[in-house]
């Protein structure tokens, strides 16, 4: 259908020829007006496009500049300036996740804890399952001294989303949580977290050492000992992790009274440390420690020893302890003693008097007397430690033995 025909059809029959002509002209004028309007729209669209994108490019430059400035401020410890810089970056790029996290961190670093906490809360409300946000909030709650909130947030961080580094991050969070629980005197919960972490880090000796150290801190010494031993199994030979594990094992075993294990651990440390250029602990220090353990072994009066050997050791330890008691009594003035002290001292004196001049053979044949003497030696060292301060030398070793009743050779 041609244009003329279309125009003819559009022209109503009721119109005369002049009106139809005017009508055709009107249609053409309208078409021209609409075309010109389309042209104007297109031109405006092109102008707007260039205007918009040139501004956006400029804005991106500005926001990157502010962000870089903020990072620099943060790195150089000017957290207050960093806050302003990150806020400026966010003004130019609202909702940018990296900028938001940086701003929250800067607020926290600047000591504006309440602001940082409120900001993190809002970010967290938008992404409640975000592991990193929960962790940072937990750290702020720690700084705000709000243990209940901190633990809940650490827990949320553990359950949160960590993208592709989930296993690693969750383990780190768990260790941090365990450390916090220990500080909050909640060792049992800390132990549960550490044992879970241990189960997920069997082949990582460095993490295992860390877990063992925390178990040690939480006073779960047997678990700590096991963890150190596991760390040794997976640590590369002569690696710092392996040496750390030996040291840890030695320390924990000593605390447990497992002197044989402790000595063996230190021995192994010394053997391996010789092959390493910079061991974590100076071998001479460890050697001194080892000698001390040897001496402790010589002083130890374990019931499992042959009777004669035990009696010999008891007599030697007894003379050390009596000497310590005499020196301590001489140092203490009578007036300074409380009634309870005086009573304890009287008991100790009277008990020592029951062992005036024992013979080795006598003692070796009397199991009960051996036990009584061993107990008296322990009580004497403990009392003297309380009254006259920390002992040195053999007294210190005897005191250590006295405080570990369930020790083994």
Partner 1 sequence: MDAMDMESPSTTTMPSPMDASSVLSEEEIRRIAPTRENRLLLVLSIFIGILSGLSVVCFRISIEWLQVLLLGSVPHPGQYRLLLAPMLVGLLVAILVKYFFPQARGSGVNQTKAALYIYNGYISFRTMIGKFITAALAIGSGHSLGPEDPALQIGAGLASIVSRHLRLSRERLRLFAPVGAAAGLAAAFNAPISAILFVIEEVIGRWSAAVLGSIVLAAVSSVVVARAFWGSEPMFHIPSVNLRDNRELLAYAVLGVAGGLASVLFSRLLAWLRPWLRTLPKKTQVWQPAVAGLLVGAIGFFGFPQVMGPGYDVIDHAMHGEYLWHILLTLAILKILATTLSFSSGTPGGMFAPTLFIGAMLGGTVGSVEKIFFPHLTGSIGSYALVGMGVLFAGFLRAPLTSVFMVLEVSGNYSIVLPVILANTIAYLLARSLQTIPIFEVLTLQDGLSLPSMEEAREETALRVEDAVHAPDVPVVFGTDAPASIVETMKKQKVELALVRCRNHRWYVLTASEAAKASQASAAQIEDALPDERAPLLYPDLALDETLPYFRRWPVLPVVNRAVSGFLEGILSQNDVLQCYQNHLQIHIHK
What residues does 258 pair with on adjacent strands? 408
243 near 286, Cβ under 8 Å? no
Interaction between residue 126 and partner 1 (CB under 8 A): yes
Candidates 85-93, 171-179, 362-370, 393-401: pick the segment binding partner 1 (CB under 8 A).
85-93
The answer to whether residue 40 forms part of the interface with partner 1 (CB under 8 A) is: yes
* Options 122, 159, 319, 386; binder of partner 1; rule CB under 8 A: 122
By CB under 8 A, is residue 60 in contact with partner 1? Answer: no
Q: Which of 128, 166, 303, 389 binds partner 1 (CB under 8 A)?
A: 128
26 binds partner 1 (CB under 8 A): yes
* Rounded least distance, CB 74 to partner 1, Å: 17
Residue 273's CB is within 10 A of a number of other CB atoms, namely 22
Q: Which is nearer to partner 1, 38 or 271 (CB)?
A: 38
346 counts as binding partner 1 under rule CB under 8 A: no
Give the number of other CB atoms < 10 A from CB of residue 95: 8
Q: How far apart (Å, rounded) are the C-alpha atoms in residues 237 and 70? A: 44
C-alpha pair distances (Å), 209 with each of 106, 214, 227, 249, 255: 32, 9, 7, 10, 17
Span near partner 1 by CB under 8 A; candidates 33-41, 132-140, 329-337, 339-347: 33-41
Q: What do you get for the CA distance between the two ends of the chain, in Å?
A: 113
Q: Is 23 in the site for partner 1 (CB under 8 A)?
A: yes
- Is residue 139 within 8 A of residue 116, CB to CB? The reply is no
The only residue of 79, 82, 100, 133 in contact with partner 1, by rule CB under 8 A: 100
For partner 1, which is the closer residue by CB, 83 or 325? 83
Cβ-defined contacts of 225-229 (< 8 Å, 24+): 225/249, 225/252, 225/253, 225/256, 225/258, 225/261, 227/198, 228/252, 228/265
To which H or E segment does residue 267 belong?
A: helix 259-273
* Alpha carbon distance 289, 339 (integer Å): 39
Three-class SS state of 96: coil
Q: Which stretch binds partner 1 (CB under 8 A): 25-33, 189-197, 317-325, 390-398?
A: 25-33
Select the residue interacting with partner 1 from 48, 159, 309, 349 (CB under 8 A): 48
Neighbouring-strand partners of residue 130: 161
Selected range binding partner 1 among 30-38, 275-283, 336-344, 348-356, rule: CB under 8 A:
30-38
- The residues that touch partner 1, with contacts defined as CB under 8 A, are 12, 15, 19-20, 22-23, 25-27, 29-30, 33-34, 37-38, 40-41, 44-45, 47-48, 51-52, 55, 58-59, 62, 65-66, 84, 87-88, 90-92, 94-95, 100, 103, 114-115, 118-119, 121-123, 125-126, 128
């Amino acid at each position: 259908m041609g244009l003329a025909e279309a125009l003819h059809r559009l022209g109503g029959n009721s119109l005369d020829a002049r009106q139809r002509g005017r009508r055709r002209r009107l249609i053409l004028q309208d078409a021209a007006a609409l075309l010109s309007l389309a042209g104007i729209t297109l031109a405006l669209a092109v102008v707007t496009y260039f205007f918009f994108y040139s501004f956006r490019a400029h804005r991106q430059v500005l926001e990157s500049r502010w962000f870089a400035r903020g990072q620099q401020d943060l790195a150089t410890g000017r957290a207050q300036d960093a806050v302003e810089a990150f806020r400026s970056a966010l003004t130019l790029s609202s909702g940018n996740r990296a900028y938001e996290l940086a701003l929250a961190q800067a607020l926290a670093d600047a000591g504006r804890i309440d602001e940082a906490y409120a900001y993190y809360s809002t970010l967290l409300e938008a992404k409640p399952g975000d592991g990193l946000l929960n962790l940072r909030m937990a750290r702020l709650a720690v700084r705000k001294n709000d243990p209940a909130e901190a633990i809940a947030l650490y827990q949320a961080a553990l359950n949160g989303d960590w993208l592709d580094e989930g296993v690693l991050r969750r383990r780190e969070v768990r260790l941090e949580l365990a450390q916090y629980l220990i500080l909050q005197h909640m060792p049992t919960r800390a132990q549960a977290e550490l044992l879970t972490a241990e189960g997920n880090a069997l082949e990582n000796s460095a993490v295992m050492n860390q877990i063992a150290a925390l178990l040690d801190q939480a006073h779960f010494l047997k678990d700590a000992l096991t963890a150190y031993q596991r760390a040794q199994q997976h640590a590369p030979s002569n690696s710092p992790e392996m040496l750390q594990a030996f040291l840890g094992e030695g320390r924990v075993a000593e605390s447990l009274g497992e002197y044989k294990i402790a000595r063996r651990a230190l021995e192994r440390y010394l053997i391996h440390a010789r092959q390493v250029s910079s061991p974590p602990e100076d071998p001479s220090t460890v050697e001194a420690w080892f000698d001390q353990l040897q001496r402790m072994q010589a002083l130890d009066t374990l019931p499992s020893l042959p009777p004669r050997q035990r009696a010999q050791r008891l007599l030697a330890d007894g003379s050390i302890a009596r000497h310590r008691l005499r020196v301590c009594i001489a140092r203490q003035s009578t007036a300074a003693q409380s009634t309870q002290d005086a009573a304890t001292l009287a008991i100790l004196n009277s008990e020592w008097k029951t062992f005036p001049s024992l013979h080795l053979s006598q003692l070796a044949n009397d199991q009960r007397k051996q036990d009584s003497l061993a107990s008296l030696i322990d009580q004497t060292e403990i009392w003297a430690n309380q009254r006259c301060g920390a002992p040195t030398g053999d007294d210190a070793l005897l005191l250590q033995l006295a405080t570990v009743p369930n020790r083994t050779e």
